[in-house]
Structure 1
Amino acid sequence: MKCAVAAIAFGLQIIAVKPAIAQDVPAPTGAPLQPPPATTPFAEAGPWSFTGLANTDLMANVAGGLEPAIKGLSKFVVAAAYDGSQNDRAGWNALISAQFTHGGRLSTNAVGDVQGADNVEAVGALRLYEAWVSRDYDGAQGLKAGLIDLNVDFDTQEVGALFLNSSDGIGPELGHSGLNGPSIYPTTALGVIGYLRKGTGLTVRAGVFDGTAGSPSHPRDFAIRLSGSDGILVIGQVEQRFDSGIRLEAGVWAYSAYFEATNRFDGQGHALRYQRSRGIYALAEAPLVRAGEDGERGLAGWLRIGLGDPVVQQIFGYLGGGLVYTGPLVRRPQDQLGFAVNRAIVNLPPDPVLFNPGRRSETAFELTYRYNATDWLAVQPDTQVIFHPGGHLPTALVVGIRLSFTLTKNFAAKLKDVAK
């Protein structure tokens, strides 16, 4: 209990502010060779701005995995953001967003992989996603509290945000932790997060979250659980940005609740319970080759490593990285071509014959191209080869295409005309 109180006190002292409306939409950083910035508003009213986007995927497991299948998956997000500087309340900000998810279960029913071949996949539901208020103090420190997407502020892979595999959004050893995952897509939890920032590009963040996001037994329902058995999730991160565009990040996290061991049992065959689930991660991103007169075209790369708890987590180790070339064609400076590799170490579930089958790895290779057709539509074909899905299934070949719609002012005007 003393540790929990100390963690909450520390989290209240160091609270971050970085608005975004979806896990796969990175916050603008100003650094070169990054994915497109956060969605611009389609409507504004005083200090309020409104944004909307939709991802619609058609994915096919061609071979391997559990079975060949074609799945359609969709995610729709709308958000309203408040900027106090537009209303004589500088430093105050707020965000409220809702999302609707729908579609087939690609990884669950077809591929059988544990990392998540499509980062849109989720139980279909209409959910309140984020609802928070923040207070910033001259850009050097701040407070933020409410329903928060942890991945906006912690373990954010900015270059890797291009890809469809879920491991390129947040590391799988953290993304699959806890009873129902941490406070990330598709279910967030109450939390307090923050930062202390130095002018040298150094930022220290910390956060305290409810230990269980949503309701594990009723995933379609919106639920805020405040139970002593849920415990808390505490996370801290140090980030360093350099003028060259290099970004380094390292973090630690831990839960206070009890969890069942994956492959440790008592004399009656019941899983042992431990008050432990913790991990560390580190990330490095950098522009590698610059092209074009403004230097915004070129090659960027990243590498991430993460270690979780081998006793209570299905995924407890991860190593991944990749390359993204922005503007591969001179006449298409906003298009992106990317290649990524994600390798997760998996605790295999108990087997009736092989009672403790041990550990295996799952490795995903992904090749993707994002074609920005207009200011409101991007088309992204994608191919993934996943070796040993789930650590034991036949190698799977997954191909598909994503259509990303951004609700811009021009697009909103066209929809209004159609409605007439």
Structure 2
Amino acid sequence: MCVASPVLAQTDVTAPAASDATASEPASASAAAPSGLWERSNLLGDMGGLRPWLGNYGVTFNLQETSEYLNNLSGGTKRGGAYDGLTQFGIVVDTEKAVGLPGGTFNVSGLQIHGTNLSTRNLQTLQSASGIEADSTTRLWELWYQQSLLAGKVDVKVGQQSLDQEFMVSQFATPFINATFGWPVLPSIDLPAGGPAYPLSSLGLRVRVKPSDAWTVLAGVFDGNPAGSDVGDPQLQNHHGTNFNLRNGALFIGEVQYALNPPPASGSGAAASGLPGTYKLGFWYNTQRFADPRYDVNGLSLADPASGGVAASHRGDYSFYAVADQTVWQRGGDSPQSVGVFARVMAAPGDRNLVDLGVNAGVTLKAPFKGRDNDVAGLAVGYAKIGSRAQGLASDTAALTTPGYPSRSAETVVEATYQYQVAPWWQVQADVQYVFRPAGGVPDALNPAQRVGNEAVVGVRTNIVF
């Protein structure tokens, strides 16, 4: 299995669809890999010699299953629990080994999504309780070819891509289950169909330039709506991930990354110069038209009975964001124990977006107990501010049609989690979340004069790498 960036940015385990993973390990590394059930990196080991045989031809096969049960103990629209699960599978091909083309990587991956979404059924939150919640289906996820150039200083990727694998990623946010710590709440709410991120993806082109060990620049252009339609449930519109189209405007995205005290290259013999960190600045711009959350085409409030109900529209939408990951403490010697902190802030205009400010922050402790070198404990907070015009619409509704209709402000979620590494291929995770003012104070459907109550969610997740 090739080690890579997190698949959904909620599980920092081996990924089936790695953006910069090698297609296979060298034969010597494969031969030296542990073969015992509780020491090897995947449950099925070398699959009776199939994995190393495929590796000789540059082919790596990946399969993992994530299952979880989450239960809403208080608040929300309904109490109770839900199971949801995700099977991820993929093939990565090193084209030099496979066909003699140096520097090339071909990737195809798919998803089998099953179970029920607690957030949709019981919570009505903007920041979904789980990063794997999605409509049940089997779908293509990513399908791309990447070519490395100039001795690895530049690489170009073209094809169907999921942006949450490379853009806006926070390393220390990956252990958390809530979706906002993966693909953040602001783009998932504001972009058409939630943007090209799990479980959807878009056709596009991404260029990465790495002028030095410290600096990386990412830039890309993608289809503006991965659903292929602005009508109906986006996941149903693109039910199996095969809507390959370039008809929905364009999404431009760029990101600059700076690595502080990056770890020395393997085998260099150099010592680390200080505590490592990564800092990112980025933006995105979507060329489609976006509806005004408050006013109609005549300038009347959409809550006004005299309004025709057709929202005014704005050309284009955009956001700026910053991400920081920093190790703040590391025990000396051979100890893996360390403390990392992260923060992620992004903003968008309030005249065309439901969420105009999103903030994540948190802290993780690796190896919290002696003998538990690969366990991770974490505490994080996610904040989603309702845009000014969406807040105004709630006020208009209270004044014009529904006295006592709740005002809207912001939704805040606090999450505490613990990842227990049973074996290199098996992880079990306990999780607790508390949501203040779900959806910023959305009214209860059964009583519009009352907000949906604050929610306490507990759950357990298990992940097995096959």
TM-score with structure 1 setting the length: 0.85
Q: Partners of 1:259 and 1:105 in 2: how far apart?
A: 27
Q: Partners of 2:410 and 2:340 in 1: how far apart?
A: 27
Q: 2:251 aligns with which of 215, 222, 233?
A: 233
Is the contact between residue 228 and residue 245 of structure 2 (CA under 8 Å) also seen in structure 1? no
Q: Partners of 1:178 and 1:107 in 2: how far apart?
A: 19
Is the contact between residue 191 and residue 207 of structure 1 (CA under 8 Å) also seen in structure 2? yes
Alignment match, 2:133: 121
Alignment match, 2:316: 276
Is the contact between residue 21 and residue 77 of structure 1 (CA under 8 Å) also seen in structure 2? no
**Pair 1:23 & 2:8 matched:** yes
Higher mean C-alpha displacement, 284-293 vs 350-359: 350-359
1:270-318 deviations in Å (ceiling 9; x for gaps):
2111112110100111111112522532111111111023122222211
Q: 1:242 aligns with which of 254, 260, 275?
A: 260
Q: Partners of 1:402 and 1:133 in 2: how far apart?
A: 32
Q: Partners of 2:348 and 2:259 in 1: how far apart?
A: 25
| SS of equivalent residue, structure 2 residue 180 | helix
Q: CA RMSD in A?
A: 2.4
**Pair 1:363 & 2:424 matched:** no
Q: 2:455 aligns with which of 396, 401, 405?
A: 396
Is the contact between residue 389 and residue 395 of structure 1 (CA under 8 Å) also seen in structure 2? yes
**Pair 1:163 & 2:181 matched:** no
Alignment match, 2:158: 145
Q: 1:287 aligns with which of 307, 327, 346?
A: 327
Q: Partners of 2:439 and 2:6 in 1: how far apart?
A: 30
Is the contact between residue 299 and residue 323 of structure 1 (CA under 8 Å) also seen in structure 2? yes
Q: 2:427 aligns with which of 378, 381, 391?
A: 378
| SS of equivalent residue, structure 1 residue 110 | helix
1:119-163 deviations in Å (ceiling 9; x for gaps):
111011100001100100111111101111111111011110000
| SS of equivalent residue, structure 1 residue 54 | strand
Is the contact between residue 192 and residue 207 of structure 1 (CA under 8 Å) also seen in structure 2? yes
1:195-234 deviations in Å (ceiling 9; x for gaps):
1112241011101010011245352323425354x20100
TM-score with structure 2 setting the length: 0.77
**Pair 1:339 & 2:357 matched:** no
| SS of equivalent residue, structure 1 residue 154 | coil
**Pair 1:53 & 2:84 matched:** no
Q: Which runs of 5+ in 1 are unaligned?
A: 1-17, 31-38, 408-420
Is the contact between residue 5 and residue 19 of structure 2 (CA under 8 Å) also seen in structure 1? no
Q: Partners of 1:401 and 1:28 in 2: how far apart?
A: 28
Q: Partners of 1:67 and 1:255 in 2: how far apart?
A: 36
Is the contact between residue 82 and residue 116 of structure 2 (CA under 8 Å) also seen in structure 1? yes
One-letter amino acid matched to 2:67: T
Offset at residue 175 of structure 1 (A): 2.5
Is the contact between residue 368 and residue 383 of structure 1 (CA under 8 Å) also seen in structure 2? yes
Structure possessing the higher radius of gyration over alpha carbons: 2
Offset at residue 169 of structure 1 (A): 0.7
1:341-383 deviations in Å (ceiling 9; x for gaps):
1111124585554569764110100000000111221110100
Q: Partners of 1:312 and 1:236 in 2: how far apart?
A: 21
Q: Partners of 1:110 and 1:215 in 2: how far apart?
A: 28
Offset at residue 170 of structure 1 (A): 2.2
Q: Partners of 2:92 and 2:344 in 1: how far apart?
A: 31
Q: Percent identity?
A: 23
**Pair 1:266 & 2:315 matched:** no
Is the contact between residue 203 and residue 246 of structure 2 (CA under 8 Å) also seen in structure 1? no
Q: 1:103 aligns with which of 109, 115, 124?
A: 115
One-letter amino acid matched to 2:61: F
One-letter amino acid matched to 2:80: A
One-letter amino acid matched to 1:380: Q
Offset at residue 192 of structure 1 (A): 0.7
Q: Partners of 2:406 and 2:312 in 1: how far apart?
A: 17
Would you say how many aligned residue pairs link Structure 1 and Structure 2? 381
Offset at residue 84 of structure 1 (A): 2.7
Gap change, CA 1:95 and 1:256, over 3 Å in 2: same
Q: Partners of 2:136 and 2:62 in 1: how far apart?
A: 22
One-letter amino acid matched to 2:79: P
Is the contact between residue 190 and residue 224 of structure 1 (CA under 8 Å) also seen in structure 2? no
Is the contact between residue 212 and residue 225 of structure 1 (CA under 8 Å) also seen in structure 2? no
